[in-house]
Structure 1
């Protein structure tokens, strides 16, 4: 039953969120079984992990309120979505891309799909649907000892359903507001006693609810106003010996993702701009009265309005072999490629000559080998890692001048890592680990204006770092565990070219030291699980992107903040109230501050990190079972946060707090059919994820959607 997994995870991990039947109050304590973790290199058993990990299970991921993996963040403390489409996810107030969105270089947190690390663009726009997804694991705080250079802020692991040696199939259809249509199919079966396969596919489309009257004449208008997504996936499981001792799992997926923009113009954007309530998304249909482009007689500049679509291909080979009950070898080979087309909305329209054309092409090839040993008192993991990442991009912009830029990077990462955990006296366990990481990064940047080259540079960065981890863990009373850990994280430096000027800029590496105190407890005959984490993170030379011109993203460059810090905590609870009712709740508290940071003549010291809400609170319930009536509901409060740091704004705007409510109810039949009526953001709360101005432009949060879904499992 799902309630078993709910509480099993709370033995060792921060939380597990699942729907379904719970354990009756009059039953004695029961065998919790084992919750498998896919992202923790040290162990697959949630009862043994010392990571701060939140796990969202298949039951929740099958709900229509969670149509994207990012929707599950509403149930997790101190985890949020980014502030707009061109952004990553946020863990403990730190964006997965850091404070340097996109660009050339390394992110601060990584996203893995079936063990394959995704590129920056593949994380923004790639696999986002949750159909046929088994589990999502969110690791908060540095994971650099085991996970690598791109885990200073954390990591997310998404695992899709593996093949099984019996037939299984599933179909799903959804229809919601704004002509939201979704169809998905999955089927798996055995091919003899050693081979099994699973295929799945999902297609989704939705119209925007924003208004773009001045963009309707452009050729790319249809792509711009329609949210398009589809994904195809195939997995093959091979058991060479006919048993689970040796497994070979091959996976391949192909995704297309073209989300819509949620940016709207406000009354202070231009002299004739409407109020925010008009939901006018054609921001560049009018330009400011003092804009230099008005000297050319222009009243609009649609070349600044991007249309971006991404295609992602993933391929993985996961091989595992158990030498004994204690010793296991794992090999993970991954390859991913993402290609993002970026065009201005008027590009390709006859008669339009002020346009922008461009592309991002990113590829990662990785190989990891590791040995895991566990005989009870002694556990250890040792491994080797290699990755090569190739990035290239170009941008051709015809405005006042013809600007052409090209950037490329090759990033090679070699590492040896290990971690050991030893129970030196009953109930007390010491933990030590380290990762020796070598980074070799080469970058090129070209910029020309009206055919005249102004910059053609090559830069390199090479470094070897040792990232340690130490911890102490105490288990007591049979169902209580307290741990204290120290871990370091690292992000390499680099260089780039400011596209608006062609000027070269350089930035230094950033690092962080994280101190974490955690407590896990189970009560009431294992029906109540409690998880608490307190952390303090000390940052050095945090990399931050700023714009020299607040209205021109091409003027961006990266600099370093001297010192900054973040601290806070998470409290997460799961309670199996009755056989048919599960309750859950979470509280995330966060404080962030730049202690020493100046750029462009402005002192930002004392400011909090942008997009880092001080409070997250989530409460919810899941009632019912596989058949009969069922209902789910949740309310999520997100506290106020600072908007983005932008040149010329000594004190950026503060975004208001907001609360969203999601509900669903339905009926399940004995034949495997299930009908659900759902509403996301039921109260249609109006909130901003970003604002510039004040009152100039903003990024809207998700609006209300009411719809119906039909699932059929057979």
Structure 2
């Protein structure tokens, strides 16, 4: 069945929901017409609570409210501030929101976390759900890859911290990113922006909106970004890790009267950069035999990396790089005001096509010559909500349906240097390149993912100052997965495990199977769960609001679609093919204040989140048998304190500062994978599966390695204990070419303390803390003209976005250097 046919079949659900007669909306409820036709009051909000207007209007609780009235921890960033700081995707947005973490080695291997929770740091597994929901105009984005694209015509972004499942019909156990785009208007308006900078940076954006008839308005927006890569491949002379993005979004608004509105939206984005590579960062000693660690292996092949300093930004990878990425879809959103509230229906279809080419040995050696997992994904969603208010009772009730199909056709192939690099040097087979050269695993992976939920939230006004807000969600999930990996040798012959009755495997075949092992299994998972929360809020005074929340929620269970461990005969251990749901207990309290005649805002929250059966990414350090799989850690906890401050003492100056202390640790994880310094050694077991001998000290060549490690009490990956964002802008009246305006100087900075970049903390993968500073200097007028120069990472700080452990227990650590200093100029105009 075609994508269009399925969407057409779903769309009538929205039309049916909106066909009731229209009535005057309750005065307390926000109408669809208000949302659709309200002027795009461009907020240059700088962290929570600051904007060019007195109040920031958000839709975090599925209705229009001011950010200060919402009893939850929320950060709001306006479209203008997103543009002026160059925060054109989620990766850059984290510099403005301290509790947001973003890690991406390529679009598919991307993690977006809040307070250290959301998705495992490391290789993506299609069989697991993300814990941070990403929504664009109420449409759920199932794959985190959508967050790697440029924001397109964004009005504002709300980062909701903590579980949100009772208002968002799909897993949002860590929080949600709610992106609102600029809507079609019945008043003609347009905007254009172009930026040029060093590294060949060019970015252009444009949007045009206006009426087609008295009841029909349209809006179209386009965006294009190009930039040279920051890393030079000395083998080819090409710069890699470049940017090459193009996006378009079109919307039609039909508004026959003030109580009814339909918005049909379509978008398409593509990326085609020469990307993505991680480069030599350092080496560390493992427990592998010394002649099988990086230095000895490289010397045996007469190889050396172009530079042992990653910030020289050099590589010599010998596999062509590509990260072709397409994403898009169509949605129909309808709203109607009735006598019982506002009915909202969102019908959507989304697709994602991913076509990569990677060099997974990270070196200029033909060890792994192919490691690619092209994937095609489709999702269909239908959401129906009723929201309103009557007397002292406010309510949101909803239902959500989700269906997703994924088909991945992967390949991994070894090259001419693989035998010497991967086979024990004392084995004569290591000197025969043909043993592993051309050894290929061809993977066929599929997933069907079905989910349905009903959810709701009530608000009881016990008094004018005191409110109680309970919520619930009933959720059903079903996943059906298939994994099939076929291995062939360089001559195209099948490589399989043979029983004793079949004569067993030859030494040559055993060497091949130790690198790439065939595997086939089918896996099914289904489960019901019930989530609930309760929030109490109290208005201490007009501008002082306190709240407390308890939430009990779940993240759906999953299936392992990167392969699972196998026994000595190569039989998959199917008990590891499914992953249990996470159980989340969350506690939070906060206070929101405004003072100085509402010229200043200060909000603070404290939180504690406990998760049982935490879904952790597990990586074994064999070469290719497994890329990584999922397992459940017994218990994880994150707790901390967050604050948001902003002040605008006058129209000439504003300042903000946001910060977070986050203590995120494994409370109990006794069978975790060991870090590289405790891996690669001998592991003999007795008949009961117990290790024979005593494990050696970390980094001792030839020692016995433990089967697993107890990392209870250690830090979760990817989260800093301390993180801050801060900035200010000052302006003075000025006149240019006879036009009155403002000259302004702005600064934005952020700081992150050190964090672990490996699922099991390793001495080799800690990333040092760093601070980044960005400046802009410009001139703008009241009629929409703006020109400014900018410099980002002004002090050219060297920092890593991510460190990773290369497979094989050789001790090789690769890294992803953050952007160096960049600078340029931006021209903006609007009417």
| Range of TM-score over shorter length | 0.7 to 0.9
Secondary structure of 1:123's aligned partner: helix
Deviations 1:500-554 (A, max 9, x none): 9774532222121110101111111111111111100011011111211166594
Contact 1:119-1:362 at 8 Å conserved across structures? no
In the alignment, the residues of structure 2 paired with residue 6 and residue 67 of structure 1 have an alpha-carbon distance, to the nearest angstrom, of: 16
Deviations 1:464-523 (A, max 9, x none): 111011121111222111111111231222332555977453222212111010111111
Structure 1 residue 570: deviation in Å?
Answer: 0.9
In the alignment, the residues of structure 2 paired with residue 712 and residue 680 of structure 1 have an alpha-carbon distance, to the nearest angstrom, of: 22
Counterpart check, 1:228 vs 2:244: yes
After superposition, residues 250-261 of structure 1 pair within 5 angstroms as 250-258=264-272, 260-261=275-276
Structure 1 residue 431: deviation in Å?
Answer: 1.5
Q: Which residue of 2 aligns with 1:542?
A: 614
Structure 1 residue 66: deviation in Å?
Answer: 2.4
Q: Which residue of 2 aligns with 1:705?
A: 822
Q: Which residue of 2 aligns with 1:312?
A: 327
Deviations 1:347-380 (A, max 9, x none): xxxx999434431112211111111122462211
Name which of structure 1's ranges 470-479 and 605-614 shifts more when overlaid on structure 2.
Answer: 470-479
Contact 1:143-1:489 at 8 Å conserved across structures? no
Relative to structure 1, the CA distance from residue 609 to residue 250 in structure 2 (aligned partners, 3 Å threshold; closer, same or farther) is same
- The counterpart of 1:238, out of the listed 254, 268, 278, is 254
Counterpart check, 1:328 vs 2:342: yes
After superposition, residues 355-366 of structure 1 pair within 5 angstroms as 355-366=370-381
Structure 1 residue 712: deviation in Å?
Answer: 1.6
Counterpart check, 1:139 vs 2:160: yes
Q: Which residue of 1 aligns with 2:426?
A: none
Contact 1:88-1:124 at 8 Å conserved across structures? no
Secondary structure of 1:144's aligned partner: coil
Counterpart check, 1:379 vs 2:375: no
Deviations 1:257-299 (A, max 9, x none): 245436221353655232225634536x4xxxxxxxxxxxxxx
Structure 1 residue 582: deviation in Å?
Answer: 1.2
Contact 1:640-1:654 at 8 Å conserved across structures? yes
In the alignment, the residues of structure 1 paired with residue 520 and residue 96 of structure 2 have an alpha-carbon distance, to the nearest angstrom, of: 47
Contact 2:43-2:81 at 8 Å conserved across structures? no
After superposition, residues 550-561 of structure 1 pair within 5 angstroms as 554-561=626-633
Counterpart check, 1:633 vs 2:747: yes
Counterpart check, 1:612 vs 2:719: yes
Counterpart check, 1:667 vs 2:779: yes
Q: Which residue of 2 aligns with 1:288?
A: none
Q: Which residue of 2 aligns with 1:566?
A: 638
- The counterpart of 2:481, out of the listed 413, 436, 443, is 443
In the alignment, the residues of structure 1 paired with residue 322 and residue 591 of structure 2 have an alpha-carbon distance, to the nearest angstrom, of: 46
In the alignment, the residues of structure 1 paired with residue 277 and residue 412 of structure 2 have an alpha-carbon distance, to the nearest angstrom, of: 24
Secondary structure of 1:239's aligned partner: strand
Q: Which residue of 2 aligns with 1:472?
A: 536
Structure 1 residue 39: deviation in Å?
Answer: 4.2
Contact 1:111-1:156 at 8 Å conserved across structures? yes
Secondary structure of 1:51's aligned partner: coil
Q: Which residue of 2 aligns with 1:116?
A: 139
- The counterpart of 2:124, out of the listed 78, 101, 104, is 101
Relative to structure 1, the CA distance from residue 406 to residue 107 in structure 2 (aligned partners, 3 Å threshold; closer, same or farther) is same
Structure 1 residue 441: deviation in Å?
Answer: 1.3
In the alignment, the residues of structure 2 paired with residue 172 and residue 641 of structure 1 have an alpha-carbon distance, to the nearest angstrom, of: 36
In the alignment, the residues of structure 1 paired with residue 724 and residue 66 of structure 2 have an alpha-carbon distance, to the nearest angstrom, of: 28
In the alignment, the residues of structure 2 paired with residue 529 and residue 371 of structure 1 have an alpha-carbon distance, to the nearest angstrom, of: 32
Q: Which residue of 1 aligns with 2:520?
A: 456
Contact 2:481-2:561 at 8 Å conserved across structures? no
Contact 1:228-1:257 at 8 Å conserved across structures? yes
- The counterpart of 1:481, out of the listed 545, 551, 564, is 545
Name which of structure 1's ranges 74-83 and 603-612 shifts more when overlaid on structure 2.
Answer: 74-83
Q: Which residue of 2 aligns with 1:603?
A: 710
- The counterpart of 2:459, out of the listed 421, 425, 428, is 421
Relative to structure 1, the CA distance from residue 709 to residue 498 in structure 2 (aligned partners, 3 Å threshold; closer, same or farther) is closer
TM-score (norm 2): 0.75
Contact 1:494-1:508 at 8 Å conserved across structures? yes
Contact 2:311-2:798 at 8 Å conserved across structures? no
Q: Which residue of 2 aligns with 1:25?
A: none
Structure 1 residue 411: deviation in Å?
Answer: 1.2
In the alignment, the residues of structure 2 paired with residue 187 and residue 610 of structure 1 have an alpha-carbon distance, to the nearest angstrom, of: 43
Relative to structure 1, the CA distance from residue 344 to residue 78 in structure 2 (aligned partners, 3 Å threshold; closer, same or farther) is closer
- The counterpart of 2:150, out of the listed 111, 122, 128, is 128
Secondary structure of 1:483's aligned partner: strand
Relative to structure 1, the CA distance from residue 252 to residue 442 in structure 2 (aligned partners, 3 Å threshold; closer, same or farther) is same
Q: Which residue of 2 aligns with 1:395?
A: 410
Contact 1:636-1:661 at 8 Å conserved across structures? yes
After superposition, residues 278-297 of structure 1 pair within 5 angstroms as 279-282=312-315, 285=317
Counterpart check, 1:176 vs 2:190: no
Structure 1 residue 394: deviation in Å?
Answer: 1.3
Counterpart check, 1:679 vs 2:791: yes
Number of aligned pairs? 663
Higher strand share: 1
In the alignment, the residues of structure 2 paired with residue 452 and residue 145 of structure 1 have an alpha-carbon distance, to the nearest angstrom, of: 50
Structure 1 residue 672: deviation in Å?
Answer: 3.3
Q: Which residue of 1 aligns with 2:218?
A: 197
Structure 1 residue 586: deviation in Å?
Answer: 0.8
Q: Which residue of 2 aligns with 1:26?
A: none
Secondary structure of 2:772's aligned partner: strand
Relative to structure 1, the CA distance from residue 703 to residue 231 in structure 2 (aligned partners, 3 Å threshold; closer, same or farther) is same
In the alignment, the residues of structure 2 paired with residue 576 and residue 624 of structure 1 have an alpha-carbon distance, to the nearest angstrom, of: 12
Deviations 1:629-672 (A, max 9, x none): 122111211111112125xx765632111000011011124653
- Which runs of 5 or more residues in structure 2 are unaligned? 1-38, 284-293, 299-303, 361-365, 415-435, 489-493, 497-517, 674-707, 733-739, 806-810
Structure 1 residue 45: deviation in Å?
Answer: 4.7
Relative to structure 1, the CA distance from residue 464 to residue 499 in structure 2 (aligned partners, 3 Å threshold; closer, same or farther) is closer
Secondary structure of 2:480's aligned partner: strand
Contact 2:765-2:804 at 8 Å conserved across structures? yes
- Which runs of 5 or more residues in structure 1 are unaligned? 23-31, 286-301
Contact 1:168-1:187 at 8 Å conserved across structures? yes
Relative to structure 1, the CA distance from residue 564 to residue 199 in structure 2 (aligned partners, 3 Å threshold; closer, same or farther) is same
Contact 1:603-1:650 at 8 Å conserved across structures? no
Secondary structure of 2:226's aligned partner: strand
Counterpart check, 1:206 vs 2:227: yes
In the alignment, the residues of structure 1 paired with residue 530 and residue 121 of structure 2 have an alpha-carbon distance, to the nearest angstrom, of: 21
Secondary structure of 1:214's aligned partner: coil
In the alignment, the residues of structure 2 paired with residue 669 and residue 517 of structure 1 have an alpha-carbon distance, to the nearest angstrom, of: 42
Secondary structure of 2:256's aligned partner: coil
Name which of structure 1's ranges 533-542 and 152-161 shifts more when overlaid on structure 2.
Answer: 152-161
Secondary structure of 1:355's aligned partner: strand
Secondary structure of 2:798's aligned partner: coil
Relative to structure 1, the CA distance from residue 341 to residue 99 in structure 2 (aligned partners, 3 Å threshold; closer, same or farther) is closer
Misfit runs of 4+, over 6 Å: 4-7
Contact 2:110-2:144 at 8 Å conserved across structures? no
In the alignment, the residues of structure 2 paired with residue 373 and residue 566 of structure 1 have an alpha-carbon distance, to the nearest angstrom, of: 35
In the alignment, the residues of structure 2 paired with residue 553 and residue 84 of structure 1 have an alpha-carbon distance, to the nearest angstrom, of: 21
Secondary structure of 1:319's aligned partner: strand
In the alignment, the residues of structure 1 paired with residue 792 and residue 601 of structure 2 have an alpha-carbon distance, to the nearest angstrom, of: 27
Secondary structure of 1:70's aligned partner: helix
Secondary structure of 1:548's aligned partner: coil
Structure 1 residue 53: deviation in Å?
Answer: 1.5
In the alignment, the residues of structure 1 paired with residue 225 and residue 495 of structure 2 have an alpha-carbon distance, to the nearest angstrom, of: 45
